[in-house]
Structure 1
Amino acid sequence: MKLAVIVLTHNEEQHIEACIRSAAFADEILVIDDMSTDRTAELAQSLGARVVTHPLAGDFAGQRNFALSQTDADWVLYVDADERVNEGTEAELRRIMAADARAVYEIKRINIVFGQRMYYGGHHPDYIRRFFPRDAAHWTGLVHERTASELPVRRMGGSFLHYTYESWEQYLRKFNLYTTLMAERRYTEGQHTSFLKILFDPPFAFFRFYVIQRGFLDGRLGFIMAMCHGFYTMIKYVKLAVLWQMHGAESTAAGERAKNDD
């Protein structure tokens, strides 16, 4: 049984070496690089990874599915560039493969935010579906992509460390990208928003993050990230409203042009 670790990258020179070293046990490390302009590809190749350049074009599921077509491994494990495979995980992966226990496996991810390990709130340790037989699953969704498979979902041992945010510049870049992608996805699906959602959903998002999920136990950073999550919720709805507003203006303009033509 052959295991491939798949890493999607875009300008990840600060992370890629540590990521690949943590997954050095794999039979193959495949890096799908989104036209990086830094040394990501060079560093990955120097550590023995096979690098395939492929533009992301905003479609994360499409990029992950493309990766599946680039390997002949029996099983695949997806690891993001800002993640590290913890010790002990390899033994669990090999045990599952040796038993041919075909399923989609969830693995625990421990989130590190601005250097602080998070235990509660929206960044509490979560379980992500990243390990499965190559021929038995695919990815769906423009953003916050997820696996689709007829296999059962099981939880495995082992864990990842996820260095999710290291600077506010990085956080704000991701904030802008993901709020835009979420708005576009909802718009494509025909979903609307309203002023009431813009007014009430953000404070509830903060309350869920900070109180229900006990983000307050993560101290000052728990409060800050809960506030940011509320703002994120507001901005994605604002961007969605703007998309519908622009669509309405374009429809009106098209109607006026049609009238003038008549």
Structure 2
Amino acid sequence: MIMVNVTVLILAKNEEHNMKECLETVDFADEIIVIDDFSTDKTKEISEAMGAKVIQRSMNGDWGAQQTFAIQQAKNEWIFFLDADERVTPSLVKAIERIVAENKKYAFWIKRHNQFRHYKATHGIFRPDAVCRLMPQKDTIVVGLVHPAFKYPYEDKYIEEYILHHTYDNWDQYGYKVNRYTTLAAEKYRKDGKSVSFVKDIVLRPIWAFLKIYILNLGFLDGKLGFIFSMNHYMYTMMKYTKLYYLYKSDGKL
């Protein structure tokens, strides 16, 4: 196998159930770095056994800072971000090899096809989404806590090849992420001085969030799961603004 001069960057915490399958799909890269948020399972051991370099660093709720730190560790001119629950397809491997060989300085956006292990949902919140993942290391940073954004001086390009995204394994995992992300979103909103209205943001905005996902984004085509995840998006929206509302009122205390 020809090794590609690209550094794969993976942020992980307690991902032992994902690491082996994930790392198997990036064995084309001549450098793989896992930034481990002090996992308490075998994430570190599995990653090292698969040939990855593991650096342990606490995220402290700041995704952007963690990703920027990861970028700074890469030895290669090109970097490729991947989540532990994602898999690189063979066609994407070929595309990455071609892009790195051509060495034209663009930031490449790649679509993710979301998958469950036992069920199918491809609309609503699980419709394919494009994410920026492949780019030159130079002058690239990431900012933002919950939904970080890449900052770079390169023109954006989109490629046809895609990443497979194995979303949630169970409802406990989903619930944990919803709770965590709504807390981080509320804290960021308060830090930014974002205003919140009980009627507009807690009563009305979640209704629009549901209708957008279930009707406009065709969530209804996914049957029972489509309805459930559209309702969960309603709850997610209400929860983050409720948390913000009470952060202002009583520092989040009841």
TM-score (norm 2): 0.95
Residues 229, 242 of structure 1: CA spacing in aligned structure 2 closer, same or farther, 3 A cutoff? same
Aligned residue for 1:132? 135
The answer to whether 1:25 aligns with 2:28 is yes
RMSD: 1.5
The CA deviation at 1:41 is 0.2
8 Å contact 1:110–1:117 — kept in the other structure? no
Aligned residue for 1:146? 149
Residue among 8, 33, 38 paired with 2:11: 8
What is the CA–CA distance in structure 1 between the aligned matches of 2:120 and 2:134, rounded to whole Å?
24
Residue among 173, 177, 187 paired with 2:176: 173
Task: Give the paired residue count.
Answer: 249
Gaps of 5+ in 1: 250-262
Residue among 97, 101, 113 paired with 1:98: 101
TM-score (norm 1): 0.92
Residue among 89, 92, 97 paired with 1:89: 92
Residues 145, 104 of structure 1: CA spacing in aligned structure 2 closer, same or farther, 3 A cutoff? same
After superposition, the C-alpha distances for 1:141-180 in whole angstroms (9 at most, x for unaligned) are 1111111112111002321111111101000100110000
The answer to whether 1:112 aligns with 2:123 is no
Aligned residue for 1:256? none
The CA deviation at 1:218 is 1.1
Aligned residue for 1:253? none
What is the CA–CA distance in structure 2 between the aligned matches of 1:247 and 1:56, rounded to whole Å?
23
Runs of 4+ in 1 over 6 A off after TM superposition: none
The CA deviation at 1:181 is 0.4
Gaps of 5+ in 2: none
Aligned residue for 2:48? 45
The answer to whether 1:241 aligns with 2:248 is no
Aligned residue for 2:215? 211
Farther off after superposition, 51-60 or 156-165:
156-165
Paired AA for residue 79 in structure 1? L
Amino-acid identity (%): 38
The CA deviation at 1:246 is 2.1
Paired AA for residue 194 in structure 2? Q
8 Å contact 1:76–1:134 — kept in the other structure? yes
The CA deviation at 1:135 is 0.8
